[in-house]
Amino acid sequence: MNKEEFQKIVDYIEGMYHRQLETKELKILKEEVTFCKDFEEFKNKFAFTLLKRVEYFTIQQLHKLIEERKETELFLKQNGLNSFDELYEN
């Protein structure tokens, strides 16, 4: 992910939660979102979840959401599924 895309993520989070991220938080955030190629991928995967489940943003909460997402994707992959919709169809 390039610097401009990372800055879009930072701006999005700071705008949504009306707070300025500290330097230490920015370093950790950059490590947490390395798997995202760009801002759009981050937004597609986490925007709704952040809005729904996080009242006051912290890096720990984002880390928890990322880990839950990874576990979900691993579960789906292990079962040969692309989404939970396929699980419910069968």
Domains of the chain: total: 1
Identify the sign of the CA torsion 27, 28, 33, 34.
positive
Q: Between residues 89 and 13, which one has the greater pLDDT?
A: 13
Where in the sequence is the domain holding 77, given as residue range(s)? 3-89
Tens-digit pLDDT profile for residues 26-46: 999 999 998 889 999 999 989
Instruction: For residue 36, give every residue at least 6 positions away whose Cβ sits within 8 Å of its Cβ, in sequence order, or none.
Output: 1, 9, 42, 45
Q: What is the pTM of this model?
A: 0.80
Distance separating alpha carbons of residues 83 and 76, to the nearest angstrom: 7
Asked whether 9 and 40 are in contact (CB, 8 A), the reply is no
Tens-digit pLDDT profile for residues 61-85: 999 999 998 998 899 889 888 887 7
